[in-house]
Chains A and B, each alone.
Chain A
Amino acid sequence: MKPPPFEYYAPTTLDEALALMAEHGYDAKALAGGQSLIPMMNFRLAQPEILVDLNNIADLSYIRPSDDGGVLIGAMTRHKTVGHSPLIAERAPLLHETMPNIATEQIRNRGTFGGSLAHADPSAELVAVSVALDARLRICSQEGERWVPAKEFFVSLFTTILEPEELVVEIAVPPMPERSGWSLKEVARRPHDFALTGVVAVLTLDDENHCQQVKLVYLSAGDGPVEGIQAAASLQGQPLTAENIQAAAEIAASEDVDPSSDIHATAEYRRHLAKVLTRQTLEEAYERAISNTQ
């Protein structure tokens, strides 16, 4: 339960950090909040030869309004800061509501937004929420920068498109369209533990209060954030009646999610949870969308 030896660097600027990543590439790991990487090192599941600690780069921790009405979040912004930000509460209410669900207070005091995304744990709330909100990630290397939609960032279990020399530096969260509602629900064995299954729903209504667009994203339901594509398609243009919602929930559970069995729950139980939680999140998202149209 002790990490293996490594070389430690604590750059104070992004340029220094990118130079270290460029130099050490495959041997280096970036250390953000460390709330996933350090336990993995304690278990020796991760054995990086070099750690580049990003915690002293003050410029990577901020929450700013963006011109489109959304927010820009520095990658090293801690969960606690996001959770307590009035700007997030106003401009990204789903994110605001998500934060208290993430792990425990002690973890939220250290864990970071960018770190959670780069770790790409399919049971992480921020992974699913960033896809549901169409967030985009700004990724830098010494060669330059690129913007990547969250949906394209996640590849598989703990795997992203990040190249070894790249760092996530910023996340842009756009505003939700008008006439939208949202919901996040999850079931865990203990409060704040990893979710057995969770669902994020973002729903936008048309002028007749029918479903113009809905995004359903599942956590702990596959190798990455799993989109409920079939379920969403079944609701397109439809009224959000109890029958339609129930039918979508059944499609999601049988066709969209691909959970596995482990010591905590069977795949069958996780499918059941996906069905129930899809219904509940759609109902709540619809109620909120209706109240946002008035």
Chain B
Amino acid sequence: MSDLCNVTVTVNGNRYERDVEPRLLLSDFLRHELGLLGTHVGCEHGVCGACTVLFDGEPVRSCLMFAVQAQGHEITTVEGLGTMEALHPLQEAFWEAHALQCGFCTPGFLTTLVPFLEEHPDPDDDEIREAISGNLCRCTGYQHIVDAVKLAAEKMRA
């Protein structure tokens, strides 16, 4: 085992400090060290998008970063988007528009789409499909996800 590195990181507004192996992927750090199981691990080579988190506000694949690289940075996972009592409008829209079936890919879609909706308050179908092109969903066929994004945009404009 290689030497442990100290890492201090802010996740969903909370500061965490841990000693980790440098080879620990950020995705595994979030799940196994911090117990934040909302970030899902699909392919572990940057294709499926299930592990997407916001790194300093921008969507990145947490399986393609080491936890030590998050030193001093801010991360938002799906747990940080809303609360059980007050879901994010995008989460509500996913629920209402049936944009998930098994739900495995959903955290990655949500974290990809939250900043997208901030930059595109009234997106069209093409923009939405472009935005989700880095996330795979094997259940929905994507149409309901596109519908949910439009519904969320409406909710957020209201």
Bound together: yes
How many Å lie between the Cα of A35 and that of B2 in the bound state? 23
Main secondary structure of the interface of A (DSSP, over half): loop
Q: A104-B49, A192-B133 are known contacts. Are A42 and B63 too (CB-CB below 8 A)?
A: yes
| Segment at the A interface, from B19-27, B85-93, B99-107 | B19-27
- Please, which residue of chain B has its CB at the minimum distance from the CB of A110? B60
Taking the complex as formed, is A2 at the interface, i.e. its CB lies under 8 A from any CB of chain B?
yes
Given contacts A5-B2, A6-B22, A42-B44, is CB(A192)–CB(B134) below 8 Å?
A: yes
On whether A107 and B63 interact (CB within 8 A), knowing A5-B2, A10-B68, A51-B22, the answer reads no
Determine whether the beta carbon of A4 is less than 8 Å from that of B23: yes
State which size class the interface on B falls in: 20 to 34
Whether a CB of chain A sits under 8 angstroms from the CB of B58 is: yes
CB-based nearest A residue for B59: A106
CA A107 to CA B63, docked complex, whole Å: 11
Bitwise interface map of B from 34 to 56 toward A, beta carbon under 8 Å scored 1, else 0: 00000000001110010010010
A277 → B minimal CB distance (Å): 21
Per-residue interface assignment for chain B, residues 103 to 143, with 1 indicating a CB less than 8 Å from any chain A CB and 0 otherwise: 00000000010000000000000000011011000000000
Our pick among B23, B45, B131, B134 for the contact of A43 (Cβ within 8 Å) is B45
The smallest C-beta distance from A294 to any residue of chain B, in angstroms, reads 31
Segment 262-293 of A: residues with Cβ below 8 Å from B: none
Chain A residues whose CB sits within 8 angstroms of the CB of B68 once the complex forms? 8, 10, 53
Contacting pair B65 A191 (CB below 8 A): no
Asked if B66 and A5 sit within 8 Å, CB to CB, the answer is: no
B145 to chain A, nearest CB (A): 15
In the complex, per-residue mask of B2-18: 1 if CB is within 8 Å of any chain A CB, else 0: 11010000000000000
Asked if A39 contacts B133 (CB within 8 A), the reply is no
Question: Which residues of the other chain, B, contact A189 by a CB distance below 8 angstroms?
Answer: none
Q: Which of A1, A3, A4, A80 contacts B58 (CB 8 A)?
A: A80
- The answer to whether B23 touches A6 (Cβ under 8 A) is yes
User: With A42-B45, A105-B59, A106-B112 in contact, do A55 and B134 touch (Cβ < 8 Å)?
Assistant: no
A57 interfacial by beta-carbon distance below 8 Å: no
Chain B binding surface, main DSSP class: mixed
B23 contacts A107, C-beta separation under 8 Å: no
Also in contact, A106 and B22, with CB within 8 A (given A38-B64, A53-B69):
no
Interface assignment of B158: CB less than 8 Å from any CB of chain A: no
Partner of B64, one of A2, A51, A110: A110
Task: Report chain B residues within 8 Å CB of A53.
Answer: 68-69
B1 close to A (CB within 8 Å): yes
Contact B133 A104 (CB under 8 A): yes
Known contacts A5-B2, A191-B133: A106-B23 contact under CB 8 Å: no
Is B150 on the interface with A (CB-CB < 8 A)? Answer: no
CB proximity of B63 to chain A, nearest CB, Å:
7
Known: A104-B49, A105-B59. A2 touches B2 (CB 8 A): no
Residue of B nearest to A49 (CB): B2
Once A38-B66, A51-B22 are accepted as A-B contacts, the answer to whether A8 and B5 lie under 8 Å apart by CB is yes
Cα distance A110–B22 in the bound complex, in angstroms: 18
Whether the pair A39, B112 counts as a contact (CB closer than 8 A) is: no
B44, A109: Cβ atoms under 8 Å? no
Is A7 in contact with chain B by the CB < 8 A criterion?
yes
Please give me the residue from chain B that is nearest to A109 by CB atom. B58
Partner among A5, A7, A8, A38 whose Cβ is within 8 Å of the Cβ of B65: A38
A-B contact pairs, 14 of them (CB 8 A): A3-B23, A5-B22, A6-B2, A7-B2, A35-B46, A39-B44, A103-B134, A105-B112, A106-B59, A106-B60, A106-B112, A106-B134, A109-B58, A110-B65
Give the 10 A-B residue pairs with the shortest CB-CB distance, closest first. Answer: A104-B134, A8-B22, A39-B45, A1-B44, A5-B2, A109-B58, A3-B23, A38-B64, A106-B134, A106-B61
Where the two chains meet, the residues of B that have a C-beta atom closer than 8 Å to any C-beta of A are 1-3, 5, 21-23, 25, 28, 44-46, 49, 52, 55, 58-61, 63-66, 68-69, 71, 112, 130-131, 133-134
Known: A35-B64, A42-B25. 9 other contacts (CB 8 A): A5-B21, A7-B3, A8-B22, A42-B44, A42-B63, A53-B68, A53-B69, A104-B49, A107-B64
